[in-house]
């Protein structure tokens, strides 16, 4: 039933066969924490205790693996819980991590303030420059090259295949945070990445009503280590979260098409506006990552950022004046959001090499009528 090749078909059916007991066409929400055994050790379909495995989570995990074209998917309580489990599984004291010079502030905080306390060092590097990446790598101790593409919030694009090549030369794993693109637009495992990370809170959930995270891997040995850690560390997603992400993913394709159609119109509008000094959107032909994005993505997504010619105060004013764009953190939901990364989502990167410009505004373009979105931005900028 789950062997279909079309992405949208898999989004609706992979891991989601009708329930064998009742025929329910939607995966049941299994809230049970424990499962009756038929004699000691006589588990039914492998279920014993819900931290170790739960049928609703299993359905989501199978779906994630199918969409990312991996061998195993693992669901966690948040994107950061997924990242933490991954880093503490593949690193040990003395390990080293190279991360793109522009990554989600929370990822940087996790690596620089938490994992570092266990003797894991890190170096930020420009992933668009293979020589800079090679120079940052410490042969023998670099375990992970951490790549976000497109990045949050600067929408920089890294060449996944090239980054994988350089990481693998040094025996490191390439981890790609695919949150911004979603598997609908980009499948890093097919380009050479070893691990895909998601904040399912974003496009996969898609409705701003669930916090979750995921890992998807190709290698079966790494998958087994992560399955062990998922249970041993316990940062698992809850069944209601799994169920909401399963439901969200069913419409991922149609939502992404609309997110990006709206984002393209908004990028063009902002380009022509006097108050705007730069528009950061990989779909624009003069974006420095446009050609790479066109090569490795099947669309440019619904996230864009722009800079205000008049500086930080102007950026704050636009955020505060927007009405249809809600001033809020997070992204990837059906409703449009606006935020000031320097003071909000990326405040934890202040004073670090990953600090973001203060004149920057980030938009998560929703799926509302684009004319209403354009009118709101016009009044907010006006």
Ligand X SMILES: Cc1ncc(COP(=O)(O)O)c(C=O)c1O
Residues forming contacts to ligand X in the complex (CB under 6 A) are 78-80, 104, 106-107, 148, 152, 177, 179-180, 199, 201, 211, 213
CB of 284 to ligand X, least distance (A): 21
Q: Count other C-beta atoms under 10 Å from residue 3's C-beta.
A: 9
CB of 137 to ligand X, least distance (A): 22
Residue 235 CA to its chain's centroid (Å): 17
Torsion of CA 278, 284, 287, 292, to 10 degrees: 160
Q: What distances in angstroms separate CA 95 from CA 116, 145, 168, 221, one per listed residue?
A: 10, 12, 16, 19
Nearer to ligand X, 86 or 318 (CB): 86
CB of 58 to ligand X, least distance (A): 20
CB of 104 to ligand X, least distance (A): 4
Residues serving a catalytic function are: 51, 104, 177, 202
Q: What distances in angstroms separate CA 168 from CA 165, 174, 215, 230, one per listed residue?
A: 5, 8, 19, 25
Residue 117 burial by CB count (10 A; 0-12/13-18/19+): exposed, middle or buried?
exposed
Q: Which value, in Å, is the radius of gyration of the alpha carbons in the chain?
A: 21
CB of 112 to ligand X, least distance (A): 15
Q: What distances in angstroms separate CA 312 from CA 74, 276, 304, 358, one per listed residue?
A: 40, 12, 17, 5
Nearer to ligand X, 206 or 370 (CB): 206
Nearer to ligand X, 35 or 203 (CB): 203
Nearer to ligand X, 67 or 86 (CB): 86
Please, what's the largest Cα pairwise distance for the chain? 74
Nearer to ligand X, 106 or 276 (CB): 106
Nearest in space to 270 (alpha carbons), one of 101, 148, 347, 155: 155
Nearer to ligand X, 276 or 339 (CB): 339
CB of 275 to ligand X, least distance (A): 26
Q: Nearest residue to ligand X, using CB?
A: 79
Q: How far is it, in rounded angstroms, from Cα 291 to Cα 363?
A: 22
Residues 160 and 176: beta-carbon distance below 8 Å? yes
Within 8 A by CB and 6+ apart from 228, the residues are: none
Nearer to ligand X, 177 or 194 (CB): 177
Q: How far is it, in rounded angstroms, from Cα 52 to Cα 325?
A: 40
CB of 162 to ligand X, least distance (A): 21
As given in the structure block, the two tokens for residue 74 are: 């693992």
Q: Count other C-beta atoms under 10 Å from residue 141's C-beta.
A: 17
């Amino acid at each position: 039933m789950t062997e279909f090749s079309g992405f949208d078909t898999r989004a609706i059916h992979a891991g989601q066969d009708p329930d064998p007991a009742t025929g329910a066409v939607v995966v049941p929400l299994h809230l049970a924490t424990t499962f009756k055994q038929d004699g000691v050790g006589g588990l039914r379909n492998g279920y014993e205790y819900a931290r170790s495995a739960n049928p609703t989570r299993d359905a989501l995990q199978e779906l994630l693996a199918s969409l990312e074209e991996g061998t195993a998917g693992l669901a966690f309580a948040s994107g950061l819980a997924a990242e933490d489990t991954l880093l503490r599984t593949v690193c040990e004291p003395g390990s080293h991590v190279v991360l793109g010079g522009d990554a989600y502030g929370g990822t940087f905080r996790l690596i620089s303030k938490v994992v570092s306390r266990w003797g894991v060092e890190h170096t930020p590097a420009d992933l668009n420059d293979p020589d800079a990446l090679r120079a940052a790598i410490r042969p023998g101790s670099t375990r992970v090259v951490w790549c976000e593409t497109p990045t949050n919030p600067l929408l920089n694009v890294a060449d996944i295949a090239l980054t994988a090549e350089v990481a693998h030369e040094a025996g490191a794993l390439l981890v790609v945070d695919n949150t911004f693109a979603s598997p609908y637009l980009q499948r890093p495992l097919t380009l050479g990445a070893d691990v895909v990370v998601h904040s399912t809170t974003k496009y996969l959930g898609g409705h701003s009503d669930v916090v979750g995270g995921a890992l998807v891997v190709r290698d079966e040995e790494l998958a087994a280590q992560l399955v062990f850690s998922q249970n041993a560390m316990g940062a698992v997603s809850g069944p209601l979260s799994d169920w909401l992400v399963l439901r969200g993913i069913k419409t991922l394709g149609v939502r992404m098409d609309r997110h990006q159609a709206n984002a393209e119109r908004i990028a063009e509008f902002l380009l022509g506006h006097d108050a705007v000094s730069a528009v950061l959107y990989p779909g624009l032909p003069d974006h420095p990552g446009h050609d790479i994005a066109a090569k490795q993505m099947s669309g440019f997504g619904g996230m864009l950022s722009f800079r205000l010619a008049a500086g930080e105060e102007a950026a704050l004013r636009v955020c505060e004046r927007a009405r249809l764009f809600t001033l809020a953190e997070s992204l990837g939901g059906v409703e449009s959001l606006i935020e000031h990364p320097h003071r909000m989502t990326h405040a934890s990167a202040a004073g670090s090499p990953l600090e973001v410009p203060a004149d920057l505004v980030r938009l998560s373009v929703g799926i509302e009528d684009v004319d209403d979105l354009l009118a709101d931005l016009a009044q907010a900028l006006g």
